[in-house]
Amino acid sequence: MGKMGGSDILPGDGERGNPDSERQPGRLKDVVLLFLKLGVIAFGGPAAHIAMMHDEVVMRRKWLSEERFLELLGAANLIPGPTSTEMAIYISYQQVGWIGLILGGVFFILPAMVIVMALAWSYVQLGSTPVAIGLFYGIKPVVIAIVAQAVWTLGRKVVKNPLTAILGLAGITLYLLGVNVLVILVAAGIGMMAGKNYKLLASKARTRLILPLTGLFIPGAAVSFSLPVLFLTFLKIGAVLYGSGYVLLAFLRADFVTNLGWLTDRQLIDAIAIGQVTPGPVFTTATFIGYLLGGVPGALVATVGIFLPSFLFVAFSSPLLPYIRKSALASAFLEGVTIASIGLMVGVTLQLSITALVDPITVIVAVASLALLFRFHLNSTWLIAGGAIIGLIHAFLITAQPML
């Protein structure tokens, strides 16, 4: 979930923040068709999705002014969850009210969910074939490069002084030591609040802020697979995830690989790869994982669980957003969470690299992909396609070797 800048004026700031003030009735069909189309063609991650939405609703259709679009983007950046999906929900709500809030978001998610579910079925049926193994052999190092580039780009924006650097390094260290992801995020948020507002936090208010969070320090425990646990785990992730969509990887590994033991690192990075090659929200990685664990019911439960908080946050956040934006404590807390999120991305990238970079060829593919990303800003979809071709060639050569 890429963090992009927004205006200081947010929904809820008087008449201009009222969704009814710019709403143009009778556009439900147009809204549904637009977000269905974007759900099919929106490759390239959250930043690309938002750019497409801007082109469609500001430049082409004139549904929103430039200023209003930025206001909604600022609102989407202040709440947890996938920014591009929340933008789809905000825009749809802006245009056609509550029914738009539901349908706009659903039709933006739906194409990716269906595509990912089909790929998950293929993965389960054909995942052990030489072709499938070859594909993922070439794609995995590209995914590592994509995440590494995102870490570098985002890290340069948020690490501004010694305090932010310390919090980022602490996040990496604690994650690699196995500390609970939520504990790391909350601790970083509190650390930033203390660092920037130490005088204010000397009051009794500090106790009221911290005590409700102590329950997050309870470690997870491995349990047998069940749909309710799957739903609640993804619901938790969707409700608390801040930062880039790639922070999702840290949560997924902590919950499904380390705590629950339901996935292997190989399955996790394969799920990430599928999320990269499909359009729409990166969060549909949950669909893939749900299918692996529980078939079609698991895919549906996981998808609903991870996206449900976004619909609720958009529906109920408008009156609160101006106060959050103006609060020095809340702003500092969110800044700390964002910095820790970058640290989590670094940690999980290091761990998954062990699974993806298995020989000189995969190392070369990762380094070359990273160079192309930085030098030419190449679309990640093309890089993944290139990695897949290399993987297929490698699989063919390995298979044909005994015949030579």
**Average pLDDT for the chain:** 80
Q: Is residue 120 very low, low, confident or very high in pLDDT (cuts 50, 70, 90)?
A: very high
Record the pTM. Answer: 0.74
Q: Residue 44: what pLDDT?
A: 63
pLDDT value at position 154? 73
pLDDT digits (tens, 9 = 90+) for 336-390: 887 888 888 888 888 888 888 989 999 999 999 999 988 887 777 788 889 989 9
Burial class (CB in 10 A: 0-12, 13-18, 19+), 56: middle
pLDDT in tens, 101-114: 899 999 999 999 99
Q: What residue type is assigned to position 357 of the chain?
A: L
pLDDT digits (tens, 9 = 90+) for 245-283: 668 888 999 899 998 999 999 899 888 888 777 888 889
Q: Give yes or no for residue 10 having a pLDDT over 50.
A: no
State the pLDDT at residue 208. 44
Q: Kindly report each contact of residues 269-275 with a partner whose C-beta sits within 8 Å and lies 24 or more positions away, as own/partner.
A: 269/140, 269/143, 269/352, 269/355, 269/356, 270/123, 270/127, 270/136, 270/140, 272/143, 272/352, 273/136, 273/139, 273/140, 273/143, 273/384, 274/116, 274/119, 274/120, 274/123, 275/116
Q: 127-140 pLDDT, tens per residue? A: 767 888 888 899 88
Q: Read off the pLDDT band of 144 (50, 70, 90).
A: confident
Q: Are 49 and 64 in contact (CB under 8 A)?
A: no
pLDDT at 152: 86
